[in-house]
Amino acid sequence: MVGQHKFIRYFLSGEFWAPWAKLTFAAYIIHLLIFFYYYGSIRIASAFEHTPILWIFFATVVLSYMISVPVSLAFEAPYLHIEKLFIFKDKDDKHHYNELRKTIQEDNFESEDSTGDSDKLEIREEKKSDYRIN
């Protein structure tokens, strides 16, 4: 099953999900506050009906994401920027890290060479030493 369903993998790993993914945590926290406010302010008993429940659901989703944009920009974005500054001090460090990760993945997924050809192994070792993160 691994490696099948490429369309689903392509769809779920699309770039258009990135903004929604960044807002999801803030929207999750905010929707709880909206529920507490709404249900805490109700003073009469209400019957279970589908239409009001759907209106409450959609209103909560829209309101949560509308409020999560400024909250995310005010609180999450600055900390993510600071984290990137400390982890990747130089843009080349990130490039070297990605190259090292690709090299390690190649080593893990390639089968061992049974022909005794050690040139490939020496080249891979040189690549690893070039991209070591200190």
What are the structure tokens assigned to 46, written together?
Answer: 């209400």
**pLDDT tens digits, 32-42:** 999 999 888 88
**pLDDT tens digits, 61-77:** 999 999 999 999 898 88
**Cα 38 to Cα 57: distance, rounded to the nearest angstrom:** 12
Residue 134: is its pLDDT beyond 60? no
State how far the alpha carbon of 63 is from the alpha carbons of 35, 38, 48, 55, 60, in Å.
11, 12, 22, 12, 5
Residue 100: is its pLDDT beyond 60? yes
**Cα 72 to Cα 64: distance, rounded to the nearest angstrom:** 11
**Cα 5 to Cα 72: distance, rounded to the nearest angstrom:** 33
pTM of the predicted model over 0.85: no
**Cα 124 to Cα 118: distance, rounded to the nearest angstrom:** 10
Residue-level pLDDT at 61: 95
DSSP conformation letters of 103-118:
HHHHHHHSPPPTT---
Amino acid at 36: F
Neighbours of 30 (CB within 10 A): 20
DSSP state of 72: I
Residue-level pLDDT at 18: 84
